[in-house]
Amino acid sequence: MDFVTGEIFYVDKPLEWTSFDVVKRIRGTLLRRLKVKKFKVGHAGTLDPLASGVMIVVTGRATKLIDSLQAGVKEYVATIKLGATTPSYDLETEIDARYPTDHITEELILATLPRFKGRIEQIPPAFSAVKIGGERAYKMARRGEDVALKPKVLVIDEIEMTDWDPETSSLTLRIVCSKGTYIRALARDIGEALGSGGHLTALRRTRVGDATIDMCLTPEQCVELVKQVPLTFPDDYEGPKEV
């Protein structure tokens, strides 16, 4: 493999790992294998620590492809707990309000979901990496400051219910959407539309562009691949090749 010209890894990011944790693990192994102190490794499309699934990691000169790779359509499986909200719209923060759910039926859910298909406007979460005056919104939110974010236009290509458990008020959806969609914010908006509030309790990304979850390796499998695969180098590479 030619990591200098560039290779692309499809990684199944584990729960509670940051996207940077995955990049750091692969980069560290590459630095040792190539016997260099610096080497470009990047990722296309950040996943929150509370989410798992498809993450694209690129090396060397292929990092120039990051913008095009992360522009691909994404697919998620999301579980939403109805009847309760949190400031972050997921499990990062504690429940701040509870609402009744007795009125929610499968029929109501199926009638409501089409409102979120197609081009929609979405206000990003306050607990997000969106910048306000040069500062990340989540830093302001964690200090208890009011965060006012503008809505942005995005596209939901598909949204379907795959499971509804009325006893636990737990709703599972499959969502196909454009880059920049916050599934946490979608959980908030669906909860509001159902008159019950809601927050995200589980999220798994199953596709980014042409990369699907069944094509992914674990971080450790990626590390073993980097350690063992025969290496090739471009003609203009000036670093050590006896690796």
Burial of 163 (0-12, 13-18, 19+ CB in 10 A): exposed
Active-site pick, 2, 12, 21, 48 = 48
- Cα 234 to Cα 3, 16, 76: the distances in Å are 9, 37, 37
Question: What's 123's DSSP letter?
Answer: P
Helices and strands of the chain, counted as H and E runs: 6, 13
Closest CA to 152 of 173, 175, 125, 127: 125
Residues 6+ apart with CB under 8 A from 135: none
Sign of CA dihedral 161, 162, 167, 169: negative
- Whole-number Å distance between alpha carbons of 228 and 231: 9
Find where tokens 């290779």 sit.
7
Q: Is 48 annotated as catalytic?
A: yes
3-state helix, strand, coil in the chain (%, to 5): 30, 30, 40
Give dist(CA 178, CA 37) in Å, integer. Answer: 36
What residues act catalytically? 48
